[in-house]
Amino acid sequence: MAVSAPPWTELPGDLTANILRRLGVVDILENAQKVCTTWRTVCKDPAMWRVIDIRHDDYPHRMDLDIMCRRAVDRSQGQLIDIHMEGFADSETLLYVCRRSSSLKRLSLACCDDISGKALTKAVAKLPQLEELCLIIMSRVRPRHVETIGGSCPLLKSFTFNLRGHRYPHMMGTSDDELMEEPTYSKYALAIGKSMPNLCHLQLFANYMKNDGLQALLDGCPHLESLDIRQCFLVDLSGDLGKRCFQQMKKLRLPFDYADDYRWDTGLSPNEHYSDIDPFSEYDDGCYSDDFGFF
C-alpha cells in the first residue's frame, strides 16, 4: 500500500512560508527545514529571510546565535530589509550583516554590549537605504557616533536611542557612570538635531538631555511629528518649549507617562508608576537634603 504524502505538503508555498516564519530563525534552521523536501525548499527561498529577528532570551542556552544569524543573512541573498538582534551580536557579526544587506531599511540592536560605536558607524555607512535605526541600551555608543550615523544615513526617518530606566527621578544626573562619559547631558540630543534633519519619529527613553537638547531637536528636525521622551526627567516642559512640543507633535510621550508598553528596563516593577513610589523608601532619612540632593 502506497504511503501518501503528509497533508501539509499540499499547501501553497506562500501559505507554508507564512506559517514557518512564526517559528523563529533558529527553529527554522535547526528543525523545520529538516521535516520534508517541501519545507526545505520553502526555507531556502530568499524571500523567507527578508525579516530576521533573533533574541538571546528566546534561546538562552545557545552559544552560537552569531553563527545562526550569519546563516540566515546568507539565505536572504541580499533581500534582507529588516533585522533585530538582541543580547548576542558583536561588532564582527554586525559588519557581516551590513556588508551583505545593502537593501536594509530597518536595523534594531538591543543590549549588544560587544558592538562598539566605531563598528556601528562603519556598518551603517554600508546601508544607503536605511530608514529606521533602533539602539536599545547600547553602552558603547557615544554622541560622536550618533552624529556620524546621521551623516551617513540621509534617508533616516525614525531613530530610537534608549538607556536604562530610572526608578528614582530625583537621582537622574547625579552620576554618569552608565554613559561612561562626563559631562553627557544634552550631547546625544545635540548630535541628533545636528545630523538627522529628516526625522519624523524619535524615541529617547531615559535620556539625560536638558532643555537645550530638546530645543536643538525641535530646531534641527523640523519634520518631527512623534516624540517619546519618557523618563527624560531633566527636561522642563512648563514654559514655551513645552507648548512648542504640544503644538508640533502628533504623538508626544512625556517624562512621567506610563511605561507599561515598554519591554526593556524601566527601573520600575510591572504596572508600577512614579506616583506609587515613596522616594525615600529604600534610603535612610539622613541621606538627602531638602531638595533631594546629596549633602
**Least confidently predicted of 78-87, 166-175, 251-260:** 166-175
- pLDDT for position 46: 87
Query: Residue 9 pLDDT more than 50?
Result: yes
Taking residues 208-233, what's their average pLDDT?
96
Taking residues 264-276, what's their average pLDDT?
70
Across 6-15, 46-55, 123-132, 267-276, which has the greatest mean pLDDT?
A: 123-132
- pLDDT for position 196: 98
- C-alpha distance from residue 165 to each of 104, 174, 211, 235, 237 (Å): 29, 14, 19, 15, 20
Residue range 80-116, pLDDT digits in tens: 999 999 999 999 999 999 999 999 999 999 999 999 9
Please report, rounded to a whole number, the percentage of residues in the chain having pLDDT higher than 90.
60
- pLDDT for position 191: 97
Residue 134: count other Cβ atoms within 10 Å of its Cβ: 17
Taking residues 141-155, what's their average pLDDT?
96
**β pairing state of 158-162 and 82-86:** unpaired
Q: How far apart are CA 77 and CA 44, in angstroms?
A: 10
- pLDDT for position 265: 76
Query: Residue 12 pLDDT more than 70?
Result: no
Query: Residue 182 pLDDT more than 80?
Result: no
Closest CA to 265 of 223, 213, 230: 230
Please report, rounded to a whole number, the percentage of residues in the chain having pLDDT higher than 70.
75
Residue range 115-130, pLDDT digits in tens: 999 999 999 999 999 9
Residues 6+ apart with CB under 8 A from 48: 17, 20, 21, 28, 42, 75
**Least confidently predicted of 43-57, 84-98, 167-181, 185-199:** 167-181
Amino acid type, 24 = G
- pLDDT for position 79: 94
